[in-house]
Amino acid sequence: MNYRMQNILKELSQPFQALKQKTFATLYFAQTISLLGDAFTWVGLALLSYQFGKERSTPILAAALTLRVIAFIIFSPFAGVLADRIDRKKILYITHFIRMAIVCCLPFVNAEWQIYVLIFLLNIFNAFFTPTYKSIIPQIVEPKNYRQAIGLSNATFQLLGVLGPGLAGIMAVWFGARDIFFVDAISFVLAGLLILLLPAALISKPVAEIYQKKLSTWEDVLKGAKLLFGNRLIRFSLAIEFISAIAGAMILVNTVGHVKTALQLGDKQYGWTMAAFAIGAAIAAFAAGNFDKSKSRRTSLIIGAFILALSISIANYTSFPVLLILWSLAGLGQSLAEMPSETLIGENIEANEQGKVFGSHFSFSHLWWAIAYPLAGFAGSYFPGNDFLFGGILSMILLLIAYLIFKLKLKKTNYMYRQNIN
């Protein structure tokens, strides 16, 4: 019994092994503080938009989220190229402190257009910060702990998605809709100080290597996309990410209508439903590194996408308690389906090319969501009462197609390999 308990505790502690490496621990805590600051930003923005009129808050937030995705899609590939060319530590702290300055401008907004300009600028620099951050992790974490490091980062993101807005809401009660942005700025200062403590020698490109770069920016952007889609394992994980985005968008867009209209429940129940989704995702993120240790991560990808699609398929026809269970499973499935991509990039792409590939991946993953959101809106508008079933069936069909294509190409590759041997 004690031996079994020790094994369980050992498995649960696996994601934290990466924190034994001081550089990753510093980077991780900087990210955690930054993510908490992001919660302050969006809660503050929601309250700020409400000051322009109750009827304007929803369109303002919708436009802000759209601008966020557009900024990521357009600028992330260039950010990845930059991460391969110049000092990555400089990219981190320069973009970080610029974001802090932009956040400090938000309390003084007095027109809608100013919100849109500031949010777009904020997310341009987010688009440079995030791929650079992701490209640093493979450099500073030992290969044996890389999956755990990715899992810990993703689990923290999911947990703060649940806890962050609540804490931000409490702070907003104390400080008000506008002054909460100054609290947000303090979180930027704390995270920035941790970034400045990072050892440049470990995370920066050697000067000689920087000057060897001969490709133009556009050629490097295209090369990042080619490397991303040129690897069969990463390409399959991208296809699964697209399926996950379609199913996930159904949850994010249509859950509120289902809980309030179909189930005739209130805001509290909606909050619990989305919390169940985030908690399931966080649990899977912690455990995913030990769940599938194969080179392709195919088991994790397929099972994750299948659980996610199946969970939403029957959601229209269940009670609230069952919906909570389904959304926990859906969150678990989404983490299993989306996490392997970053690990596969770190393990299959050369270190001097990872920046552009992470940038390209960040852009395409947000493009998937930009496609998925309108699909979810279409399902909610034209298939009320069956919107989740529509999304589940579509996800299942796409999963079957992706699996068959992957299997067919795998057989072809194995056949050619045997022919070459013979």
pLDDT in tens, 250-287: 998 888 888 888 899 887 888 788 888 888 888 887 77
Q: pLDDT confidence of 168, banded at 50, 70, 90?
A: confident
Decide which of 7 and 301 is more confident: 301
- pTM, two decimal places: 0.78
pLDDT tens sequence across 360-391? 888 898 899 888 888 888 888 888 889 999 99
Q: pLDDT confidence of 43, banded at 50, 70, 90?
A: confident
In the numeric block, the tokens 């552009």 are attached to 356
Residue 330 CA from chain centroid, whole number: 16
Burial classification of residue 381, based on how many CB atoms lie within 10 Å of its CB (0-12 exposed, 13-18 middle, 19 or more buried) = exposed
Decide which of 65 and 305 is more confident: 305
CATH number among 2.120.10.30, 1.20.1250.20, 1.20.1560.10, 3.40.50.720, domain 215-422: 1.20.1250.20
Q: Fold match between 19-213 and 215-422?
A: yes
Tell me the pLDDT of the chain averaged across its residues: 81
| Structural domain spans, the chain | 19-213, 215-422
Burial classification of residue 360, based on how many CB atoms lie within 10 Å of its CB (0-12 exposed, 13-18 middle, 19 or more buried) = buried
CATH of domain 19-213: 1.20.1250.20
Residues sharing a CB contact under 8 Å with residue 76, sequence separation 6 or more, in sequence order: 127, 130, 131, 359, 360, 362, 363, 366
Token readout for 98 is 């610029």
Q: pLDDT confidence of 208, banded at 50, 70, 90?
A: very low
pLDDT of residue 63: 79
% of the chain with per-residue pLDDT over 70 = 85
pLDDT tens sequence across 176-192? 778 888 888 888 899 99
Residue 334: pLDDT above 80?
yes
pLDDT of residue 127: 87
pLDDT tens sequence across 108-154? 988 888 989 999 999 999 888 888 888 888 888 887 777 778 777 77
